């Protein structure tokens, strides 16, 4: 009998041989091939949403950086960049990446292959080296609140750990750390949204998010599973990358495709970081905890609240991190903002999506924002979020998505932030990204200025920003 993992890998191999993206997707080129390959890895390995966004960002950025640097055909540059990222990130599937790369290069002359390899691979490797050991890999000593602490995040029954508390301290990929902090920790309403849990909007989740709800409609129950994007899916970011391939023009160029997926991937990861900053500073309790401890606003007498709500259970499994804001919606908001700006704010587009978490369901939409709103509602129907967490998560994601969009320009390599962990290693005598990129420039035949290692970085288009903790 074939194991599920073996079957999943067979699907990966078949799709890579064909060089295709999902069956519903319209846009298909060398860039979407590598994005799709990344999605398939995320699904096969069961990579959670936030880490999935990181892989999408690195794949998209590597392709955009290589194409913006130039020196070879865009399709060859994107092919070598995608191959470099996936080979380093998922080495166990190296034969598959080699197979896809060979297919994509079949019509590319040898001299152009060599030129593309000399530019794209060093750029991708330098970026991966720079971000390999960022703050997200640090050990966290996070501890939840003591049981019974009102409004505070506590572990649910059988929970052993909190998911990625260190992500809150991770240097964003594109948006400067100070700007992300200013958004996430803002306390001045005149300067922008203040992200704080409402604490008075519990009733809707109590009524509609319960596993035993008598009032939730079947469509809404299906919505919870349709957008769940849990284990062995490409994640909520992956679902919205599928939507992008549906609504972007079929004849989108390789360069424009790389630009979009760089923006969308980086936006989803930077928005996750911003969301985690808010999550681990507000530390708001999950519905299952709130209702077990007599949360205010539920439709039962206050004196009997604790006893009356003890048996309340959510429709979906509760994610192992604080409730506010919704991580799903931070990701959706980020990709939505990038997609809307790419389409010149055209919201009325028609697309059909098949759910990965509930593959027996497919739905058609005529509006991007309507689909995004449904994702948020689905988290209430699933019993894992209160409405304000969904609304504010979407708002937060859109803010970060706009900042990423503005900072990644066409025909220009993006400035990728350097994490403080990498800066510390470099200052201790380790090899720097500048040194790696300078060597790549020499290999590509690009002269470096005498006595300057940063020239090679500029020549290869790898601009570096220092994290705030080195300031």
**DSSP H helices in 165-286:** 177-184, 203-208, 218-226, 235-247, 254-282
Average pLDDT over residues 22-43: 87
Cα–Cα distance, 98 to 77 (Å, whole number): 15
What lies within 8 Å, CB to CB, of 455 at 6+ separation is 438, 441, 448, 449
Give the pLDDT band of residue 272 (cuts 50, 70, 90): very high
Contact 70, 76 (CB under 8 A): no
pLDDT at 10: 52
Give the pLDDT band of residue 106 (cuts 50, 70, 90): very high
Answer with the residue of higher pLDDT: 22 or 260: 260
Give the pLDDT band of residue 422 (cuts 50, 70, 90): low
At 256 the three-state DSSP class reads helix
Is 419 part of any domain?
yes
Identify the domain containing residue 87 by its residue range: 1-427+465-471
Average pLDDT over residues 375-392: 98
Question: pLDDT, tens digit, for every residue of 156-200?
Answer: 988 999 999 999 999 999 999 999 999 999 999 999 999 999 988
pTM for this predicted structure: 0.87
Give the pLDDT band of residue 436 (cuts 50, 70, 90): very low
Is 268 part of any domain?
yes
- Closest-CA residue to 80 (of 110, 116, 108, 109): 116
Evaluate if residue 429 carries a pLDDT over 80.
no
Residues paired with 415 in a beta bridge = 463
| pLDDT above 70 coverage of the chain, percent | 81
Q: Which uninterrupted H or E stretch holds 464? A: strand 463-466
Average pLDDT over residues 135-148: 92
Question: pLDDT, tens digit, for every residue of 54-63?
Answer: 999 999 999 9
Contact 272, 331 (CB under 8 A): yes
Cα–Cα distance, 359 to 224 (Å, whole number): 13
Give the pLDDT band of residue 311 (cuts 50, 70, 90): confident
Average pLDDT over residues 413-431: 68
Is 92 part of any domain?
yes
Is 119 part of any domain?
yes
What lies within 8 Å, CB to CB, of 219 at 6+ separation is none
What lies within 8 Å, CB to CB, of 147 at 6+ separation is 154
Greatest extent of the chain over all pairs of C-alpha atoms, in Å:
79
pLDDT at 47: 95
Evaluate if residue 209 carries a pLDDT over 80.
yes
pLDDT at 318: 97
Give the pLDDT band of residue 299 (cuts 50, 70, 90): low
Is 166 part of any domain?
yes
Residue found by looking up tokens 């991708």 in the block: 124
Cα–Cα distance, 298 to 9 (Å, whole number): 47
Cα–Cα distance, 224 to 89 (Å, whole number): 31
Evaluate if residue 427 carries a pLDDT over 60.
no
Average pLDDT over residues 46-54: 95
- pLDDT mean across residues, the chain: 86
Q: Residue 365: what are its φ and ψ, rounded to 5°?
A: -135, 155
Is 183 part of any domain?
yes
Pairing relationship of beta strands 351-354 and 362-365 according to DSSP bridges: antiparallel
Q: Residue 416: what are its φ and ψ, rounded to 5°?
A: -95, 125
Cα–Cα distance, 334 to 403 (Å, whole number): 9
Cα–Cα distance, 434 to 447 (Å, whole number): 14
Average pLDDT over residues 59-70: 98
Average pLDDT over residues 316-338: 98
Q: What is the CATH number of the domain that holds 267?
A: 1.10.606.20
Evaluate if residue 389 carries a pLDDT over 50.
yes
Question: pLDDT, tens digit, for every residue of 334-362?
Answer: 999 999 999 999 999 999 999 999 999 99
Evaluate if residue 310 carries a pLDDT over 80.
no
- When divided into structural domains, the chain yields a total of 1
Is 454 part of any domain?
no
Evaluate if residue 453 carries a pLDDT over 50.
no
Is 41 part of any domain?
yes
Cα–Cα distance, 56 to 244 (Å, whole number): 13
Residues paired with 465 in a beta bridge = 417
Average pLDDT over residues 307-326: 87
Evaluate if residue 305 carries a pLDDT over 70.
no
Question: pLDDT, tens digit, for every residue of 7-21?
Answer: 445 545 555 444 443
């Amino acid at each position: 009998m074939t194991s599920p993992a073996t079957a999943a890998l067979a699907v990966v191999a078949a799709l890579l041989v064909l060089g295709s993206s999902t069956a519903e997707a319209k846009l298909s080129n060398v860039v979407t091939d590598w994005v799709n390959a990344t999605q398939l890895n995320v699904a096969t390995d069961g990579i959670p949403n936030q880490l999935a966004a990181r892989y999408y960002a690195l794949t998209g950025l590597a392709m955009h950086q290589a194409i913006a640097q130039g020196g070879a055909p865009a399709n060859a540059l994107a092919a070598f960049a995608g191959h470099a990222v996936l080979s380093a990130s998922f080495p166990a599937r190296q034969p598959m990446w080699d197979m896809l790369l060979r297919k994509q290069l079949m019509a590319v002359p040898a001299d152009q292959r060599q030129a593309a390899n000399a530019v794209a691979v060093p750029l991708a490797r330098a970026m991966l080296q720079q971000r390999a050991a960022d703050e997200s890999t640090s050990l966290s000593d996070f501890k939840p609140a003591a049981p019974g602490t009102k409004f505070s995040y506590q572990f649910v029954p059988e929970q052993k750990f909190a998911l990625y508390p260190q992500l809150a301290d991770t240097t964003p990929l594109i948006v400067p750390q100070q700007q992300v902090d200013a958004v996430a920790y803002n306390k001045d309403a005149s300067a922008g949204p203040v992200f704080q849990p409402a604490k008075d909007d519990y009733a809707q989740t109590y009524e509609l998010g319960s596993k035993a709800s008598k009032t939730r409609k079947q469509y809404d129950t299906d919505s919870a599973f349709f957008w769940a994007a849990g284990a062995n899916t490409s994640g909520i970011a992956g679902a919205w990358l599928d939507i992008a391939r549906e609504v972007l023009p079929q004849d989108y160029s390789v360069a424009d495709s790389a630009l979009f997926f760089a923006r969308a991937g980086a936006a989803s990861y930077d928005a996750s970081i911003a969301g985690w900053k808010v999550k681990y500073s507000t530390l708001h309790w999950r519905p299952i905890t709130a209702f077990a401890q007599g949360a205010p606003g539920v439709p039962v007498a206050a004196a009997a609240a604790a006893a009356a709500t003890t048996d309340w259970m959510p429709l979906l499994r509760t994610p192992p991190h604080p409730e506010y804001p919704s991580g799903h919606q931070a990701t959706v908001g980020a990709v939505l903002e990038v997609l809307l700006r790419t389409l010149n704010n055209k919201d009325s587009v028609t697309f059909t999506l098949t759910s990965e978490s509930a593959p027996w369901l497919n739905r058609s939409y005529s509006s991007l924002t309507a689909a995004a709103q449904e994702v948020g509602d689905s988290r209430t129907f699933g019993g894992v979020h209160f409405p304000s967490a969904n609304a504010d998560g979407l708002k937060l994601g859109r803010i970060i998505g706009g900042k990423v969009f503005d900072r990644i320009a066409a025909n220009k390599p993006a400035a990728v932030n350097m994490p403080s962990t990498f800066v510390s290693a470099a200052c201790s005598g380790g090899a720097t990204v500048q040194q790696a990129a300078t060597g790549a420039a020499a290999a590509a035949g690009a002269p470096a200025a005498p006595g300057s290692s940063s020239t090679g970085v500029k020549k290869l288009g790898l601009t570096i920003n220092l994290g705030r903790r080195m300031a």
